Structure 1
Amino acid sequence: MNAAVRAQQRYQEEAVLSATPQRLLTMLYDRLLLDIDRGEAALRRGDGADANRQLQHAQAIVAELSATLTDAWSGSQGLRDIYAFLTRTLIAANVDRDPQQAHACRELVAPLRDAWHAASADLGAASA
């Protein structure tokens, strides 16, 4: 591994370690959407190995998001249900090699990501 790649990895690690909880959440959603987009693109070009990597990483992010939910929030069960649907659909997209199922996940995740970004911005503005 060359020095530039190591430096970039170190920078990314530092960004994660120093991020606020709301920033970590938005980073996860950003990466989730990126993984879904990459997985869909790989499926469309017939690259099953890359699609598998991307969609499995997306599934891992959804599992992490689900694991962090707390029952203290009234909306947690609804979000758990969405995460369960996403997991099933990501698996089906991967197994069936179906880019439409991956795209359906994108259509669900994009507005959630946007909402979390807006909430994070609102929280930052309120605390400033």
Structure 2
Amino acid sequence: MTTSAMLRRRYNGDAVTTASPNRLVVMLYDRLLKDLNTAFGAVSQGDVEVAHRNLLHAQDIVTELSSSLDLSMWPEGAQLKALYDYLTERLVQANVSKDASLVAEALEIVEPLRDAFAEAALAPDLS
């Protein structure tokens, strides 16, 4: 591994360990969008291996986002959990069928969620 790669890895590790919980969620969404965009391109180009790897990672991220919801603290989160469950189903189907339209559908769901969480992360804490 080059020195540059080691420094980048350390920086990224430090960024994650020092990020606020709100920022961590935005970082997960950012990576989810990266995975989905990469998967979309890979499916479109017929690169099954890259599509598979990125769709699996996207599923892992959605699972992490879903499992981090505390419905006892935020009962309204049940709707978001249902959306995560739907998104997981679509990602699995996209991976099985290598259907770019399903990946595009996932992108249409994730992009506004990412933007909403990013906006909320920047809002002043009113508590």
Q: Judge same fold: TM > 0.5, yes or no.
A: yes
Cα deviation, residue 77, structure 1: 0.7
Distance 1:46 1:37 in 2: 14
Q: How does 1:1-128 map to 2 (within 5 A)?
A: 1-71=1-71, 72-123=73-124
Post-superposition offset of 1:118: 0.8
Give the TM-score taking structure 2 as reference length. 0.95
CA distance in 2, matches of 1:42, 1:26: 24
TM-score in terms of structure 1 length: 0.94
Deviation at 1:3, TM superposition (A): 1.2
The one-letter amino acid paired with 2:78 is: Q
Determine what percentage of the aligned residue pairs are the same residue. 40
Gaps of 5+ in 2: none
Give the number of equivalent residue pairs: 126
1:25-64 alpha-carbon deviations (Å, 9 max, x no partner): 1100111111111111100000000001111010000000
CA distance in 2, matches of 1:65, 1:34: 16
CA RMSD of aligned residues (A): 1.2
**5+ unaligned residues in a row in structure 1: which ranges?**
none
